[in-house]
């Protein structure tokens, strides 16, 4: 068997990010012993508010993604399935709810699942369930889900799973449908009124947190945390912009490795240092002519939430074909991506706006604008749509986006099946054959001087 050369060249600095993340989770697992209150939340990054309130926080999607990335999602998903969650349900939700079932341990939820998981016949199942079951129980829930309707319902069900005993706070986000004549990205009456509405709810959240903690909220601590986060976000944007170069010094997969730090790590100097290091390594590579993919031949856009089980595998797979995946909705249109909106002296409005800017909270009109802009800016040759099986929010507009890219920019695209946290949906052969076909199409197009393969000459 001939060994395939690994042509990917991932940033070395992201390993440091990995350590920050490990430290964060270890702290969370020890939070109860440290006497901290614990909040479970989903959706937009509320962690600076929790940080300022002196809480330990657990982002449900993040924990599900972590389990999947470590290939330890099985026990939680099995526990969820035994409890009754259908395999077609959002795999973030059912992994996290499965963790809740495991966390609840010997009480009703565990009793209902009949301990079947202990006799699943899966080798190593009982050992690997340890991490899934380490998630400390929450003291209360906060939901901050924009775009996807399942998000709010998920925490509503978590509330029920815990016997309706724990407080819960919901933040509602208007979907940015974009029908009004003045509507557009970051503009228009719809945007302004939605921003104020969500900011108002954040103020209500702070009152809720004061009631839960019994302490007045520390607004100075929030400003401080948001100052660090804003700076980290600026550095992240600078790094992203540097990747427009050809060949690109870093790829989408490097930025995927940076999702966790920007999404839920504490706002502090370590976060700023991390993103400064990321930006600097990219700049150094640029100066030295080092690329993220050896012999970059194709430049691609990736649309879809990450297939967390396959991060390393996919980065090598695309590189193997000389394909540098450079940008994507999940990276460029999420995670404090518009830091100029944040006024660190009074950050709530800018934070609210970022929650509204969740990449699943726009109508396709706006997504068209954002996607085509990035395709132009990064000089993209093709789009890869991750048809994320259990994520209806991300996949809904993908067919329309593919059509726009083809019609407006002449950019071809492919779809492949996979999922955020359930490896069983990934179809390797489909991705391989479709990717090869698209790359050949791009070759033919180049040979014809830009004309699409299959197009008839006038």
Question: What order do you get walking across the sheet with 413-418 strand by strand?
Answer: 323-328, 298-303, 382-388, 413-418
Question: Counting Cβ atoms within 10 Å, is residue 367 exposed (0-12), middle (13-18) or buried (19+)?
Answer: buried
Give whichever of 205 and 293 is closer to other proteins, judged by the CB atom: 205
d(Cα 46, Cα 251) in Å, to the nearest integer?
27
CB of 395 to other proteins, least distance (A): 5
Which one of 91, 152, 195, 413 is in contact with other proteins (CB under 8 A)? 152
d(Cα 225, Cα 87) in Å, to the nearest integer?
38
CA atoms within 13 A on the CB side of 97: 27
Q: Is 365 in the site for other proteins (CB under 8 A)?
A: yes
Q: Is 170 in the site for other proteins (CB under 8 A)?
A: yes
For the chain, the C-alpha Rg in angstroms (whole number) is 22
Q: How many residues contact other proteins, by CB under 8 A?
A: 49
Give whichever of 8 and 364 is closer to other proteins, judged by the CB atom: 364
Binders of other proteins in range 175-214 (CB under 8 A): 175, 177, 179, 200-201, 204
Select from 123-131, 156-164, 269-277, 302-310 the region that touches other proteins (CB under 8 A). 156-164
The answer to whether 226 touches 344, Cβ cutoff 8 Å, is yes
d(Cα 16, Cα 277) in Å, to the nearest integer?
9
d(Cα 357, Cα 342) in Å, to the nearest integer?
13
d(Cα 329, Cα 336) in Å, to the nearest integer?
13
Of 121, 124, 59, give the one whose Cα is nearest residue 95.
59
Q: Residue 359: helix, strand or coil by DSSP? A: coil
Q: Is 134 in the site for other proteins (CB under 8 A)?
A: no
Q: Is 427 in the site for other proteins (CB under 8 A)?
A: no
Give whichever of 100 and 135 is closer to other proteins, judged by the CB atom: 100
Per-residue x/- mask for other proteins, residues 377 to 406, rule CB under 8 A?
----------x-xx-xx-xxxxxx--x---
Select from 172-180, 214-222, 242-250, 347-355 the region that touches other proteins (CB under 8 A). 172-180
Which one of 48, 147, 249, 304 is in contact with other proteins (CB under 8 A)? 147
The answer to whether the peptide bond before residue 247 is cis (omega within 30 degrees of 0) is yes
CB of 175 to other proteins, least distance (A): 5
Q: Is 88 in the site for other proteins (CB under 8 A)?
A: yes
Q: Is 363 in the site for other proteins (CB under 8 A)?
A: yes
Residues in contact with other proteins by CB under 8 A are 83-86, 88-90, 93, 112, 143, 147-150, 152-157, 159-160, 164, 168, 170, 172, 174-175, 177, 179, 200-201, 204, 360, 363-365, 387, 389-390, 392-393, 395-400, 403
């Amino acid at each position: 068997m001939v060994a395939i050369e690994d042509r990917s060249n991932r940033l070395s600095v992201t390993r440091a990010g990995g350590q920050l993340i490990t430290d964060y989770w270890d702290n969370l697992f020890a939070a109860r012993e440290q006497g901290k209150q614990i909040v479970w939340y989903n959706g937009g990054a509320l962690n600076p508010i929790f940080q300022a309130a002196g809480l330990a926080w657990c982002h449900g999607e993040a924990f599900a993604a972590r389990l999947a990335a470590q290939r330890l999602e099985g026990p939680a998903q099995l526990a969820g399935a035994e409890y009754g969650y259908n395999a077609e349900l959002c795999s973030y939700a059912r992994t996290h709810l499965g963790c809740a079932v495991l966390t609840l341990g010997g009480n009703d939820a565990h009793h209902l699942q009949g301990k079947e998981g202990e006799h699943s016949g899966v080798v190593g199942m009982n050992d690997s369930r340890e991490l899934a079951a380490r998630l400390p129980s929450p003291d209360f829930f906060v939901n901050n889900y924009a775009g996807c309707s399942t998000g709010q319902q998920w925490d509503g069900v978590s509330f029920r799973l815990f016997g309706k005993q724990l407080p819960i706070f919901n933040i509602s986000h208007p979907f940015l449908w974009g029908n009004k004549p003045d509507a557009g990205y970051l503009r228009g009456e719809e945007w302004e009124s939605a921003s104020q509405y969500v900011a108002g709810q954040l103020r209500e959240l702070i009152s809720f947190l004061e009631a839960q903690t019994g302490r007045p909220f520390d607004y100075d601590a929030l400003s401080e945390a948001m100052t660090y986060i804003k700076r980290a976000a600026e550095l992240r944007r600078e790094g992203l912009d540097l990747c427009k170069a050809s060949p690109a010094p870093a790829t989408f997969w490097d930025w995927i490795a940076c999702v966790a730090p920007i999404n839920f790590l504490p706002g502090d100097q370590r976060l700023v240092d991390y993103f400064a290091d990321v930006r600097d390594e990219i700049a150094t590579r640029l100066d030295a002519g080092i690329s993220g993919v050896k012999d970059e031949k194709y430049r691609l856009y990736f649309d879809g939430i990450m297939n967390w089980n396959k991060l390393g595998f996919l980065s090598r797979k695309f590189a193997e074909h000389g394909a540098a995946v450079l940008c994507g909705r999940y990276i460029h249109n999420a995670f404090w991506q518009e830091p100029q909106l944040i006024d660190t002296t009074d950050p709530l409005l800018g934070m609210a706006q970022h929650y509204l800017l969740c990449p699943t909270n726009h109508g396709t009109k706006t997504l068209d604008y954002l996607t085509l802009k990035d395709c132009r800016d990064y000089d993209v040759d093709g789009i890869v749509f991750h048809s994320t099986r259990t994520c209806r929010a991300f996949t809904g507009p993908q067919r329309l986006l593919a059509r726009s890219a083809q019609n407006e920019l002449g950019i071809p695209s492919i779809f492949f099946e996979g999922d955020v946290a359930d490896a069983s949906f990934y179809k390797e052969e489909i991705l391989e054959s479709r990717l090869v076909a698209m790359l050949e199409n791009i070759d033919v197009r180049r040979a014809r001087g830009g004309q699409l393969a299959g197009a008839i000459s006038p």
